[in-house]
Structure 1
Amino acid sequence: MKVGFIGAGKVALAMGNYWLSKGVAILGYSSRNMDSAQKHAVLTNTRAFTSPAALAEEATLIMITTSDDAILSVAETLAGFSLPWEQKIVCHMSGAHSSQLLSSLSDKGATICSFHPMISFGTVPMSGFNLDKAFFTFEGTGQRLKDIESFLHFLGHRYELIDPDQKVLYHTAACVLSNYFVTLLNTGMQMLKRSGISQENMMDCLKPLIEKTWENVLKTGPESAMTGPISRGDARTIQLHLESLLKEGRSDWLEIYKTMGKATVELAVQAGRIDPETADNLYKELQ
């Protein structure tokens, strides 16, 4: 399978570099910014294409790795080219959007899909994304959809075919698990700093707690991994926490604490850690 990328951002570079390491034939990159395409081509020892049409003509798997807002217009532009679309697969890598953004290409006979690794790309170097460990989801339509499954098998990935109507919820979950997790950590760090933990010692303070918590979740799941006052039904400690946050005058901290606290009460009930009466008392404290 010959792969070409339309869009030359960090995702395209990371995916191209990773697939090359797996022996995939990467043709190169096309971008509105020719400098970006040339830079990516140099970094991956591939080619910079002068137009999407030139790339699409040679590629059998066309990866659209533009911003989400540009996917539809790129697809419609491609659909205007006279190519043997029934022989081609066109995928985008948006986590939030389904393959229906590519319907203009499906109408031409192309196999279309959305293809997404459940991993955070962040700003680390392309060698640091650990794509070999990523879980992939995909969905789409067309006679060559099985080729995408074969491709994932070739790469050695675990994957799941996802309902296109649930892609937004899937991406919302990814956002909560990654983006909002970072925000939650930042909020906790702000509280620690206010409590007297120095910036110099912050990561040493955090690391064992976060690593052990995550280790427990991976080993046993959230229900068994949960600890803390709510899992024990300790309403007095919750009261003290709330009083402390009120004293600080940070309504944003208080709102986060209450929202997370209510969700934790629900988890504790689900896990059989506390009875309904204890849960009701905790809910009242967290109103």
Structure 2
Amino acid sequence: MGQVPSDDAPYLLVGNGRLSRHLQHYFDLEGIRWRLWARAMGQPLEGSLDGVRAVLLLIADDAIEGFLARHADPAGPPWIHCSGSLSTPLATGVHPLMTFGDELYDHAEYRRMAMVCDRGAPSFEELFPRLANPHFAIEPADRPLYHALCAMAGNFTTLLWQHAFAAFESRLSLPRTALYPYLERVAANLERSASPLTGPLARGDCRTVERHLAALAGDPYHAVYSSFVAAHRAVAREEAP
């Protein structure tokens, strides 16, 4: 890749989706200059590349490699993609390990998020010398596994909680807010406890598990519950002395 301009040069953010809006806000909070290019602006990309420190490609994963093949110039500024699962020789991967909602976050929240980078590529300090985020490097070949674990931990649990909220309200006439303290304690125990799992799986209470599965008959999440039981038992067998 080409030479990196001075620290005062702006970053070019390509794409104006949710991640881009969060990074725009974070850069503003840090006093980091940036400019934006999005296809909807109706202007050619090439005119936005002059004098930028680096290009952050913030578009859908499936579109990244094709976009890079059309636009990335090895003699130009460095290109950075933020996909968790993709590795490509045309850009350096820097994945913000965070979930990005509709609302923008405060400064401290952005500074806490870890950045997971490609080992053997330009370092986080080289690419973002003014950001102090914790950062780590993994082999590019490990990105699919890394991102699969992130998706299971974050996205899959979100689906479970959304299903519980909906069923509380529609089937039990209970407010979703009744679950909020439980949700907060689950998250706190995961952070602070060496043995955070509670409930029938932790106790080995097979009859309760059977009653749960019977109650979930016809529910799309019956198969999910069964899969979790099977996975938990398989891990327990592997870890048994």
Same fold by TM (over 0.5)? yes
Q: Which consecutive residues of structure 1, in runs of 5 or more, have no partner in the other structure? A: 36-49, 103-111, 277-287
Q: Distance in 2 between matches of 1:17 and 1:191?
A: 36
2:3 alignment counterpart: none
Q: Distance in 1 between matches of 2:225 and 2:113?
A: 31
Amino acid at match of 1:212: R
Deviation of 1:134 (Å): 0.9
Identity, in percent, stands at 21
Q: 2:52 pairs with 45, 59, 77, which one?
A: 59
1:255 pairs with 2:223: yes
Q: 1:96 pairs with 85, 90, 95, which one?
A: 85
Q: TM-score, normalization: structure 1?
A: 0.71
Aligned pair count reads 233
Amino acid at match of 2:97: M
1:123 alignment counterpart: 102
Q: TM-score, normalization: structure 2?
A: 0.83
1:220 alignment counterpart: 193
Deviation of 1:140 (Å): 6.2
Cα 1:231/1:271, change in 2 over 3 Å: farther
Cα 1:163/1:134, change in 2 over 3 Å: same
Amino acid at match of 1:98: S
Q: Distance in 2 between matches of 1:25 and 1:233?
A: 56
Amino acid at match of 1:119: M
Aligned counterparts, 1:4-23, within 5 A: 4-23=12-31
RMSD of Structure 2 on Structure 1 (CA): 2.8
Q: 1:134 pairs with 96, 113, 127, which one?
A: 113
1:183 alignment counterpart: 159
Residue 221 of structure 2 aligns to a residue whose secondary structure is helix
Give the conservation status (yes or no) of the 8 Å contact 1:95–1:167.
yes
Cα 1:215/1:239, change in 2 over 3 Å: same
Deviation of 1:31 (Å): 1.7
Q: Which consecutive residues of structure 2, in runs of 5 or more, have no partner in the other structure? A: 1-6
1:30 pairs with 2:19: no
Deviation of 1:193 (Å): 3.9
Write 1 or 2 for the structure with the bigger share of helix.
1
1:236 pairs with 2:229: no
Amino acid at match of 1:258: S
Cα 1:32/1:70, change in 2 over 3 Å: same
Q: Distance in 1 between matches of 2:110 and 2:28?
A: 12
More relative contact order in 1 or in 2 (CA 8 Å, sep 6+)? Answer: 2
1:209 pairs with 2:178: no
Deviation per residue, 1:241-271 (Å, 9 max, x gap): 223223xx33x23211111122333455678
Deviation of 1:153 (Å): 6.3
Amino acid at match of 2:81: H
Amino acid at match of 1:163: E
Structure whose CA Rg is larger: 1
Amino acid at match of 1:131: Y
Residue 93 of structure 2 aligns to a residue whose secondary structure is strand
